[in-house]
Structure 1
Amino acid sequence: MPVATARPISLTAAERARLKKAAYGHKTPHRTRVRAHIVLLAARGQANARIARESGVHLDTVRTWRSRFAVQGLPGLADHKRRGRPTSFTPVQVAEVKALACQLPAESGTPLARWSCPELAREVVARAIAGSVSASTVRRWLKQDAIKPWQYRSWIFIRDPDFQRKAARIMDLYAGAWQGVPLGENEYVVSADEKTSVQARCRCHPTLAPGQARAMRVNHEYGRGGALAYLAAYDVHRAKVFGRCEDRTGIVPFMNLVTQVMTTAPYAGAERVFWIVDNGSSHRGQRAIDRLTSAFPNAVMVHTPVHASWTNQVEIFFSIVQRKVVAPNDFTDLTQVRDRLRDFEDRYNATAQPFQWRFTTSDLDDLLARLDRHSLDRQEESSIAPTAGSTPEGLRASTTKHSVLPYQRLLSVDEWLRHAAAVPLTTPEAVVVDGTNRQDRLRRDTGSRLYAGGALASPPPPGASLPSAPGRPRLENRYTVRAASLPPGPAQLRPGGTAIAATRPDEPAVVPGMKCRSWGGGCTDHTTGRINCTRPAVGSALHNR
């Protein structure tokens, strides 16, 4: 009886380099390192028994990985896909749960301000989306797409119609220019404002110093010792602070601060001193500009846009004062508050350096462009509200919120394809994609239906072409469709706002200038846009970048 011989192993330079990196890498998993070491020894012509002794594994283990590499190459060293437990929830149910999480509870009449995972799980069962689901399962689904409905952030919208011009002037001053001309050596930029209501709170019990494994302890009860206003002027390029304490804010206290600065060198003899202020009552409007110019002709007042105090650098200094001087606020009287602020001002001026302001006019233009796109998207989304019966049961047809639309698209396109093809569209491997994740992750579900982007107002009649859906151009979603069958005839399927031709798997789709993003396979002839996947097991019919 002939004796079975070990399979000979021959390596290319690229395979040898990858195997060495896996065998000797510090972050390589142990099982991968052992397999790579076995193949490298086999490539030297060593016998399986010797490789087993040197690697410290069983002889059958050596035979297994040597045989698999000889047949499959490097992919053969990976674990086979395990069968696992069958899925309990369909991709449609997962999409509906995510769509529900992207709605406000008040829209469905739920007496909650925010969703939590237990509350979402209870609502899913109440709406008959699923028979039963645990809070941990809902949390896992939401984590896939970084959806956190229990968190919130406050924001304020631009109200100043002249926001861009006013903000750009301030950004230029921070960069050392005014109206396109660089500032001279004898020109200065001063940022000024008031910090109101600095209180003197006398704690009923002394504050305890921190100790080992113990934070500072401040008594909650206190007696009120009054309040004052702290006015400060910050030289943007010299990092020098001029401050004063006043009983209240107003025109007179602010002009006292201006006089304090403008009567000292080098501002008294400067060619121009630009004062950046917000729109507070102490320095609002043209009257404040005229008042400053009449008192000091070399002073130029520059107002920030309305509700844009973040463009004023003195606010950064006030935040430092709040964190290092005021909080946790344990002062016996206002005199102690004044002394503390004055001493800190001297301490700060001794070591301070200018703030590294990185927000430029280019960043401002990008921000305003994003806001314009956001406003346009909201208008488009509000104009494509689905009609009754256009979305599957379980998703409210009247919902057109910005964050819900990606999941409505997942659910609506399949309904349209059913009308167009007259038969349910099934694929051996389909990709369920959502449009909210900025990292453009793709979710694969074996044996599922095909769900792709595109919000539809109502199912078109059979045989009609799929129109391009109004999308969100700022999201660069990438869709890869592996289809064993598609509806007869070309269909237009492109969530980004532009139509793309989708044909049968054996007919390539032509999209000029498109960058191919095939799943695991290579594509050729990118310049003409003709998609031709070289991986025969996939047969890609549609690519989207």
Structure 2
Amino acid sequence: MDMDKRLLLSPEARVRLEGWVADRNTPQKLVWRARIVLMWADAASLASIVRTLGKTKKTAYRWRDRYLEQGVDGLGRDATRPGRKTPLSAEVIARVVEMTLRQKPPAATQWSARTLAKAVGLSHTSVQRIWSAHGLKPHLTKTFKLSNDKQFVEKVTDVVGLYLDPPDRALVFSVDEKSQIQALDRTQPGLPMKKGRAGTMTHDYKRHGTTTLFAALDVATGRVIGECMKRHRHQEWLKFLRLIDRSTPKGFDLHLIADNYATHKHPAVKAWLAKHPRFHMHFTPTSASWLNQVERFFGLITGDRIRCGVFKSVAELEGAIQDYLDHHNADPKPFVWTKSATDILEKVARGRQALEVTTLALLWHIILGGLGEAFVTVGTAPWWRSHEEVENGLADGGHCRLRRWPPNSFFSSRCFEAAGLEKCKSDHRH
């Protein structure tokens, strides 16, 4: 026991503390605080107090010292705690958002919560809260490509029209092939998932060959006509078209939505389609496979059955795919298309405009910033000058005029607008 802080209890204090311990109505926190003080007063060792009461050494010392400083009444008072932290100012929040959107960290492509927190002097949890409030997710990147198909509008209108308003006495199928599905076996058995641990599989694998899944998704019912084949030439495509022909009622026209893969437009395929007039092909725009609903089905079968599967042969892989098709078709559920062609075209137009502005801004940055020079007029003589020379000229009271380059005024004005700058006319002096 620390002799510098020897604890001596007066008779009155002992009676009061023992009364707390004996009274069943005393809050438990006061009971164990009183017992700590009583044990210190009875010359119990620190180890004995910790073992008997189940408290830490720090706690035992704290309440001994509290009694020595404030007496019995001090045991009933908790220490004051700091209040709520001052909320972040609007300027700090704006700075975090601005850095997230406009700047990049050194030697990295995007901020993490911790790197940005270090840069702005906040905690990483504060940065996370700001990101959450503003819907910012720097670690996520979605893929998308704008189609340059000259018939983009017509094709989108055609395909979406089939989804939302299919013709009478007709079946609409979304068709495609999922090629190069690998039959992969792992080099060692994986461990099953259990509480607190994910299932495992080795990073390396053995290849046993590939197969191609041809699939036709009935847009109305969700049923899938599917078959696996070794290759995906026009011969296999024709074989699959014959399968669709056999698997559907004869009295219905068949509208097939497909992508622009070369085998779909092979001369032999065109000749076969000409002999089977109930088949009507509808092609999605180039670089617009997202319009094809069967791609969503391919995503499901990949995630549900293929990606984490272990297959020792192509036959085993094809058997697993067929089992999945049978299970799916036992209770099919169609995908519900909700966007109209107008909504899609408006969104694509906004994306195209944003991409154009971003490209122009980048080009203008290269012209004015990346090259380190600006085409300006300082005083009366036009030269190509460095930014430093321009700034020095302005500091000396010289007049600076930005020469219009390139000559196309629309292009230059769009560059300025994209870069967030105000266009300087050739006759405007600063």
Normalised TM-score (structure 2): 0.58
The CA distance in 2 between the partners of 1:260 and 1:86, in whole Å, is: 66
Matches within 5 A, 1:4-403: 91=91, 98-103=97-102, 105=104, 110-116=106-112, 119-120=115-116, 133-134=121-122, 136=124, 139=127, 143=131, 145-177=134-166, 183-185=167-169, 187-266=170-249, 268-270=250-252, 272-284=253-265, 287=267, 290-371=270-351, 373-374=353-354, 378=358
Question: What is the CA deviation profile of residues 192-244 of structure 1, one whole-angstrom value per residue up to 9, with x for unaligned ones?
Answer: 11111111112233344444444433333322111111111111113221111
Structure 2: distance between partners of 1:90 and 1:234: 52
C-alpha offsets along residues 58-95 of structure 1, whole Å, 9 cap, x if unaligned?
xxxxxxxxxxxxxxxxxxxxxxxx9x9899x994x876
Q: TM-score, normalised by structure 1?
A: 0.47
Indicate how the Cα distance of structure 1 residues 256 and 97 shifts in structure 2: closer, same or farther if over 3 A, else same. same
Whichever residue aligns with residue 288 of structure 2, its letter is A
Output one character per residue of 1:295-339: Cα deviation in whole Å (capped at 9) or x when no partner. 422111111110111111111111121122212020111111111
| 2:219 and 2:335 in contact (8 A); partners too | yes
Question: In structure 1, what is the Cα distance between the partners aligned to 2:215 and 2:154?
Answer: 26
Contact persistence 1:190–1:233 (CA under 8 A): yes
Q: Which AA in structure 1 matches 2:210?
A: A
| Identity score, percent | 24
- Distance in 1 between the 2:168 and 2:233 partners? 32
Cα 1:90–1:191, aligned 2, differ >3 Å: closer, same or farther? closer
Q: Report the CA distance between 1:174 and its aligned residue.
A: 0.8
CA distance in 1, matches of 2:194, 2:129: 43
Deviation by residue 1:96-149 (Cα, 9 ceiling, x = unmatched): 66544433549xxx4332234555577x6xxxxxxx845659837954644554
Measured in 1, the distance between the counterparts of 2:87 and 2:294 equals 60
User: How far apart, in 2, do the equivalents of 1:231 and 1:380 lie?
Assistant: 42
The 1:165–1:215 alpha-carbon spacing in structure 2 relative to 1, beyond 3 Å, is same
Instruction: Please give the alpha-carbon distance, in whole angstroms, between the structure 2 residues aligned to 1:85 and 1:211.
Output: 43
Asked whether the equivalents of residues 229 and 247 of structure 1 are also in contact (C-alpha less than 8 Å), the reply is: yes
CA distance in 2 between partners of 1:384 and 1:222 (Å): 48
CA distance in 2 between partners of 1:397 and 1:154 (Å)? 35
Equivalents in 2 of 1:345, 1:157: separation in Å?
Answer: 32
How many residue pairs are counted as aligned between the two chains?
299
**Structure-2 separation of matches of 1:168 and 1:342:** 34
| Bigger Cα Rg | 2
Q: Which amino acid aligns with 1:154?
A: T
The answer to whether the 8 A contact 1:120-1:138 is kept is no
Contact 2:117–2:127 (CA<8 Å) still a contact in 1?
no
Are the aligned partners of 1:201 and 1:331 in contact in 2 as well (CA < 8 Å)?
Answer: yes
1:468-488: per-residue Cα shift (whole Å, max 9, x none)? xxxxxxxxxxxxxxxxxxxxx
**Alpha-carbon separation, structure 2, partners of 1:115 and 1:216:** 31
Superposed displacement of residue 159, structure 1: 2.0
Structure 1 263/184 Cα, relative in aligned 2: closer, same or farther at 3 Å?
Answer: same
Alignment RMSD: 4.3
How many angstroms apart in 1 are the aligned matches of 2:95 and 2:248? Answer: 67
Alpha-carbon separation, structure 1, partners of 2:87 and 2:315: 73
Q: Return the letter of the residue paired with 1:238.
A: T
Q: Cα gap change, 1:99/1:238 in structure 2, threshold over 3 Å: closer, same or farther?
A: closer
**Mapped partners of 2:304, 2:125: distance in 1:** 44
